[in-house]
């Protein structure tokens, strides 16, 4: 056998190691892109499903024989289950592994979508929508937590988090467009069936592209899980009931009272728990609390604005459902354009100026909408506000996501992700309830258009709250450590 000189053997091993390392990095890049595509697609699908059925509601009413009261629960059953179970879903990922819980949630969401698309009775559809919400509550925190644990600190994680924030914020607008297209070209069942191939692809491809996160030894905090789940669900339920019948109607006051009591008890339980479902130290960071509040106020303003702007475009300007959906596309374009700048700006300037600029853009757009008139046109009254609001949303949503997840221990990424998404779900319900109340008060004895201007004025109050929060809640110099 021919002997290879020692120096040659060393060079050969070095070259082989270098080649292997390069190959591993290339595979990591490709795998990272696939992982991000799967996780971001899941997030987009979950957010879209909260609004995609809105355009299809008239067809669902005629197809299944829904009454007025029951029809609203086609949307609310999903929102209630999703918002109420988020913290529990996030903690389950921390303890059992985020990939495992994520895939379980996506599988449940996909099966429920198929069952809902086949629904023959109202009860059947509502049960399927609630099951979709349960699956979304398991998958949603897992998707964001897996992004945080899959990508290393630095530019790749920044880009991944930016993509996640973009799809989360743009999902409501995309849902309106997609719902109009599917309902007009197919049927209302298509808005549910469209989830099936998407969900199946995510479940099949996730094990190939996404590593399992380390499991954390521990047990479920049952008392904390009950109080936060029941309290969050009752809070969302109260906002839903307030939007439907007013703040003093029926069970609404009771729901709010019990929700407040449970949520007030929750931190007491968590402070004494060995392994809390939501570690209270996550709220000791001033910037993180500010980011959570910004997300709550942003979603409250955006959700209510889209609801009444849809009514204005169709009822006053006379657009059809499909044209209305496409009329909101500039929002998404502006959102993506503005959000791309955040990963470069945040390490240099910190969150305060970015949040302030975003809040100012949203406030300007909402104040513009308060001037809506019968003789207005899309160009003079809609295009400018949706561009401003889209750009402001892009700045705020991406920066809030970065700040909320900064410096979070690996074992608590699920809880933090769930907390961030809880703000989004609660904010949407809160905003709709407040804007509906403002609309009813302003339109009483006047006109529907006066009611819409009143709703937009209430939305302007939310955006003004964003501006105050941006100026007061964040440290002046957050610096590079926040990015």
Answer whether residue 8 is part of any domain.
Answer: no
Instruction: Report the 10 Å Cβ neighbour count for 286.
Output: 12
**176 and 291 co-located in one domain:** no
Q: Do 296 and 419 meet the contact criterion of CB atoms below 8 Å apart? A: no
pLDDT of res. 9: 43
**271 and 357 co-located in one domain:** no
CA distance 147 to 421: 14
- How many structural domains compose the chain? 3
pLDDT of res. 204: 95
Answer whether residue 52 is part of any domain.
Answer: yes
Average pLDDT for residues 230-246, to the nearest whole number?
82
Answer whether residue 5 is part of any domain.
Answer: no
- 3-class SS of residue 66: coil
Which of 239, 255, 276 finishes a domain?
276
Helix axes of 155-185 and 6-51: crossing angle, nearest 10 degrees: 40
At 25, is the pLDDT very low, low, confident or very high (cuts 50, 70, 90)? Answer: very low
Answer whether residue 29 is part of any domain.
Answer: no
CA distance 415 to 426: 16
pLDDT of res. 231: 86
Which tens digits make up the pLDDT trace of 50-75?
Answer: 778 877 777 888 888 877 557 778 87
Which of 211, 240, 257 finishes a domain?
211
pLDDT of res. 371: 94
Answer whether residue 3 is part of any domain.
Answer: no
Instruction: Locate 57 and state its tokens.
Output: 């509601």
CA count, 13 A, side-chain hemisphere, 145: 39
CA distance 414 to 160: 16
Look at the alpha carbons of 340, 175, 296, 152 in this order and tell me if their dihedral is positive or negative: negative
Instruction: Report the 10 Å Cβ neighbour count for 248.
Output: 8
Average pLDDT score over the chain:
83
Tell which wins on pLDDT, 412 or 442: 442
In the chain, the N- to C-terminal Cα span, in Å, equals 57
pLDDT of res. 298: 95
Q: What is the number of H-type helices and E-type strands within the chain?
A: 20, 0
Average pLDDT for residues 222-251, to the nearest whole number?
82
pLDDT of res. 352: 93
pLDDT of res. 68: 58
**231 and 197 co-located in one domain:** no
Which tens digits make up the pLDDT trace of 125-182?
Answer: 999 999 999 999 999 888 888 887 788 767 787 788 888 888 877 777 788 778 778 8
pLDDT of res. 218: 63
- 3-class SS of residue 263: helix
**304 and 403 co-located in one domain:** yes
Stated pTM of the model: 0.80
CA 276-281-283 angle, 5° bins: 110
Q: Do 455 and 442 meet the contact criterion of CB atoms below 8 Å apart? A: yes
Which tens digits make up the pLDDT trace of 356-411?
Answer: 999 999 999 999 999 999 889 999 999 999 999 999 999 999 999 889 888 787 67
**113 and 248 co-located in one domain:** no
Which tens digits make up the pLDDT trace of 342-354?
Answer: 988 988 899 999 9
Tell which wins on pLDDT, 101 or 425: 101
Using alpha carbons only, how large is the chain's radius of gyration in Å? 23
At 314, is the pLDDT very low, low, confident or very high (cuts 50, 70, 90)? Answer: confident
Q: What CATH number should be reported for the domain holding residue 159?
A: 1.20.1250.20
**189 and 290 co-located in one domain:** no
**367 and 468 co-located in one domain:** yes
Answer whether residue 105 is part of any domain.
Answer: yes
Does pLDDT of 414 surpass 50?
yes
Which tens digits make up the pLDDT trace of 104-130?
Answer: 999 999 999 999 999 999 999 999 999
**61 and 178 co-located in one domain:** yes
**123 and 238 co-located in one domain:** no
Residue ranges making up the domain that contains 265: 221-276
């Amino acid at each position: 056998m021919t002997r290879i000189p020692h120096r040659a053997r060393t060079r050969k091993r070095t070259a082989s190691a270098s080649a292997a390392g390069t190959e591993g990095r290339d595979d990591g890049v490709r795998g990272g892109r696939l992982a991000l595509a799967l996780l971001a697609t899941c997030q987009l699908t979950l957010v879209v499903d909260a609004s995609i059925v809105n355009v299809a509601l008239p067809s669902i009413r005629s197809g299944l024989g829904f009454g007025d009261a029951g029809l609203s629960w086609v949307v609310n059953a999903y929102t209630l289950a999703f918002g109420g179970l988020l913290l529990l879903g996030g903690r389950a990922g921390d303890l059992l592994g985020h990939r495992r819980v994520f895939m379980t949630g996506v599988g449940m969401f996909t099966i429920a979508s198929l069952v809902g698309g086949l629904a023959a009775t109202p009860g059947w559809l509502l049960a399927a929508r609630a099951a979709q919400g349960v699956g979304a509550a398991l998958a949603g925190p897992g998707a964001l937590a897996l992004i945080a644990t899959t990508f290393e600190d630095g530019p790749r994680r920044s880009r991944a988090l930016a993509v996640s924030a973009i799809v989360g914020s743009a999902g409501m607008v995309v849902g309106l467009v997609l719902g109009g297209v599917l309902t007009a070209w197919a049927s209302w069942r298509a808005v549910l069936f469209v989830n099936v191939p998407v969900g199946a692809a995510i479940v099949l491809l996730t094990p190939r592209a996404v590593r399992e996160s380390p499991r954390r030894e521990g047990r479920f905090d049952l008392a904390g899980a009950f109080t936060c789940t029941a309290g969050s669900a009752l809070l969302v339920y109260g906002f839903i009931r307030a939007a439907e019948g007013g703040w003093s109607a029926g069970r609404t006051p009771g729901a709010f009272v019990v929700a407040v009591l449970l949520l007030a008890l929750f931190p007491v339980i968590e402070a004494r728990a060995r392994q809390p479902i939501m570690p209270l130290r996550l709220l000791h960071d001033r910037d993180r609390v500010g980011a959570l509040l910004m997300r709550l106020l942003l979603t409250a303003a955006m959700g209510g604005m889209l609801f009444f702007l849809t009514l204005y475009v169709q009822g006053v300007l006379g657009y059809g459902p499909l044209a209305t959906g496409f009329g909101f596309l500039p929002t998404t374009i502006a959102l993506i354009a503005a959000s791309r700048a955040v990963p470069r700006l945040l390490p240099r300037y910190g969150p305060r100026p970015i949040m302030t600029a975003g809040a100012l853009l949203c406030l300007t757009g909402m104040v513009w909408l308060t001037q809506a008139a019968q003789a207005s046109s899309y160009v003079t009254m809609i295009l400018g506000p949706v561009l401003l609001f889209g750009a402001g949303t892009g700045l705020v949503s991406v920066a809030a996501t970065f700040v909320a997840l900064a410096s979070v221990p690996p074992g608590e990424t699920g809880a933090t992700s769930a907390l961030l998404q809880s703000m989004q779900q609660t904010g949407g319900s809160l905003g709709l309830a407040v804007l509906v109340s403002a609309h009813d008060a302003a339109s009483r004895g006047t006109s529907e258009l006066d009611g819409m201007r009143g709703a937009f004025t209430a939305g302007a109050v939310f955006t003004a709250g964003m501006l105050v929060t941006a100026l007061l809640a964040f440290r002046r110099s957050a610096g590079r450590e926040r990015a």
